[in-house]
Structure 1
Amino acid sequence: MHEAVRWQKSTFSDGGDGNTCVEVAALSDAILLRESDCPDVELTTATTAVAHLLAGLKAGMQ
C-alpha cells in the first residue's frame, strides 16, 4: 500500500493565467515533483539528492 501523498504548491506560484506551478510531496524515502498543469507526470528522487541540490543552490547564492 502506498503512503498518502500530500501535494504542496511552490511559494513562487503566482496564480496567474494558466496557474502552472511546481508541486512537491514528501514521502518517507522519496521526494515527488510535478507541474500542476500536468499532474499525471511525476518525478521521483531521493531525499538526499534534493538536500544536496538545495545546499548547492544556497551556497551559490551567498
Structure 2
Amino acid sequence: MTNPHNWQKSTFSGGGDGDACVELATTPGTIHLRESDTPNTHLTTTPTPLAQLLHYIKTGAV
C-alpha cells in the first residue's frame, strides 16, 4: 500500500498551529484521514464510502 505524503488540513480546523484538526491525503484509489494530534494513526477509505458518510453528516439521510 502507498503511504500518503501530502496531508491537508480541513478548512474548518481554524487558524494557527493548533493540533485540533482533521487532515486528508490521497493516494491512487484511496483517501486517508487522520487527526493531527495522532498523526501515526489514520483511516483508509475510498471515495464512495467517504461521500456517503459526508452526505449522511450533512443531511441525516442515508
TM-score, normalised to structure 2, is 0.71
Q: Which runs of 5+ in 2 are unaligned?
A: none
Give aligned pairs, total: 60
Distance (Å, rounded) in 2 between the aligned partners of 1:32 and 1:20: 17
CA displacement 1:41-60 (0-9 Å, x = unmatched): 01111211112223334445
Task: Give % identity.
Answer: 53
Structure label with greater radius of gyration: 1
Aligned partner of 1:47: which letter? P
The structure carrying a bigger strand percent of its residues is 2
SS at match of 1:12: helix
Off by >4 Å, runs of 4+ in structure 1: none
TM-score, normalised to structure 1, is 0.71
Q: CA RMSD in A?
A: 2.4
